Structure 1
Amino acid sequence: MGTFEKGILGGFSGRVGTVIGSRWRGRNVLRSLPVASNRPPTEAQLEQRLRFKTAIQFLNPIRSVVSRYFGQSQGDKSPGNLATSYYIKEVVIPDGSGGFTIDYPKVLVSKGDLQSLANPAATPAAGEQVTLTWDDNSGQGFAQATDTLLAIGCVASLNQAVIFNDGVQRDATTDTLQFPAYLAGMEVQLYATFITADEKEVATSVYLGAVTLI
């Protein structure tokens, strides 16, 4: 691996001839093309690949949220990168049959220092609705009455997610989530967080449990 400063051609990413340009820890680097190996992958490599696949499959439907609200960038690691790393290490667990699954209570859709929901509850209602309630904890820490709710319902069986960001404020203490009719009878994993009015700060999300839509 070699590093280089921007010259006539400047920094670049991707393949050019027999080298690949990229950014690594804030520096431009050149790597030679990897040499194909005929050796079979080790058990550890196979496990890591399965963990990565499981994490990405769950993250893809909520990528727009975690890439924006999962903490602050650390060097060249974006919030999306940090989320992927967290999921692989903490959220993906063995399923008991040689594969991997998601530990839903450990899932985070956002990560930050803002005060989160206090005493939240989720109750299903007729017509594919879920009623969320919480206590108004405005004034605690950095919490403001104008912080807005962000809720996500993940439908693992379909590899889908429904995102609710309708401007409902912290001091409202309730919101009704309307899910699409085709999800009737399905189990939804619910998560919620708060975002400041200027969208610069976010709370660490909370898990509201699994709800079956009716």
Structure 2
Amino acid sequence: MALLPGGILGGPNGTVGAVVTYQLNGQNVMRGKPRRSTKPPTLPQLQSRMEMGVLTLFIDKVKGFVKTGFSPLAMGTTRNYHNLAIGYNRSQGTTGNYPDIQIDFEHLMLSKGDLDMAANPMVQRVENGLKFTWDYPGSPVEGYGKDQVMMLAYSPRLNKSTFIDSGARREKKEDVLILLPAMLQEQLEVYISFVSNDRLNAADSLYLGTVGPEEEMG
């Protein structure tokens, strides 16, 4: 059954026969209902399904960061931040062969857009977290210095992340990501990006590598 939330002149919302209709980003979308296959999956199908599953589970752990980083690309389209992030990472965000498939942290993209990426970014352990620094060469582009830094640290062992998606302005050239106490002793995969002050654009994220536990400092 399909509903007409906007009346007879509005688009349907629901299922009619083999067609599913719904609204996404203010647009009416139609797709066919999925059908179960009676054939056993092929190895490429198993590979693709597991890649999708691994990516989806990971993105769910960092979805606030990814939502800020990919939502600008979804505006005015029939896609959302989640399937855009999956789409960009399907070919590069995982490594290995079925059934041993893992996240490829080096090539993962957690935000994407037209803003300038972080210039010469660096990260180091501090007492209660991670200190991020970057260069600020200045720019004639209006609002460039007001872009806000996005910082993320992910612990593969704990399967937990800590992030800030509205940190210091680009012109400040540094910020600190406060970590959960349990993450201070973990190896962390670390990323940096920027989002515009109006949240309408973002930069491509940059992978800053693996940062060792707190006791490895110095």
**TM class by smaller structure:** 0.7 to 0.9
CA distance in 1 between counterparts of 2:87 and 2:112 reads: 13
Q: State which drifts further: 135-144 or 165-174.
A: 135-144
Match of 1:3 in 2: none
Post-superposition offset of 1:184: 2.5
CA distance in 2 between counterparts of 1:48 and 1:149 reads: 33
Match of 2:110 in 1: 109
Match of 1:92 in 2: 94
Q: Cα 1:184–1:30, aligned 2, differ >3 Å: closer, same or farther?
A: closer
Post-superposition offset of 1:181: 0.7
Match of 1:81 in 2: 83
State the Cα deviation string for residues 136-185 of structure 1 (Å, max 9, x = none).
Answer: 12216566222211111122222221111454111211112210111132
Instruction: Show structure 1 runs of 5+ residues with no match.
Output: 1-5
Match of 2:162 in 1: 162
Match of 1:122 in 2: 123
SS of 2:208 mapped into structure 1? strand
Match of 2:152 in 1: 152
Q: Which runs of structure 2 are paired with 1:1-214 in the superposition (5 Å)?
A: 8=8, 11-15=11-15, 19-22=18-21, 28-29=29-30, 31=32, 34=35, 36-70=36-70, 72-73=73-74, 75-94=77-96, 98-127=99-128, 129-139=129-139, 144-214=144-214
1:29 counterpart letter in structure 2: M
Q: Cα 1:37–1:149, aligned 2, differ >3 Å: closer, same or farther?
A: closer
Q: Cα 1:94–1:24, aligned 2, differ >3 Å: closer, same or farther?
A: farther
Post-superposition offset of 1:204: 1.2
Paired-residue identity, %:
24
Q: Cα 1:10–1:141, aligned 2, differ >3 Å: closer, same or farther?
A: closer
2:178 counterpart letter in structure 1: Q
Q: Cα 1:132–1:52, aligned 2, differ >3 Å: closer, same or farther?
A: same
Post-superposition offset of 1:188: 1.0
Q: Cα 1:208–1:141, aligned 2, differ >3 Å: closer, same or farther?
A: farther
CA distance in 2 between counterparts of 1:88 and 1:37 reads: 23
SS of 2:125 mapped into structure 1? strand
For this pair of structures, how many residues does the alignment match?
Answer: 205
Q: State which drifts further: 196-205 or 142-151.
A: 142-151
Instruction: Show structure 2 runs of 5+ residues with no match.
Output: 1-5
TM, length-normalised to structure 1: 0.81
SS of 2:79 mapped into structure 1? coil
Q: Cα 1:169–1:32, aligned 2, differ >3 Å: closer, same or farther?
A: closer
Structure 1 consecutive aligned stretches of length 4 or more whose deviation exceeds 3 Å: 6-16, 23-33, 140-143
Q: Cα 1:46–1:165, aligned 2, differ >3 Å: closer, same or farther?
A: closer
CA distance in 2 between counterparts of 1:209 and 1:124 reads: 13
CA distance in 2 between counterparts of 1:175 and 1:31 reads: 47
TM, length-normalised to structure 2: 0.80
Q: Cα 1:14–1:201, aligned 2, differ >3 Å: closer, same or farther?
A: same
Contact 1:115 1:143 (8 Å CA) reproduced:
no
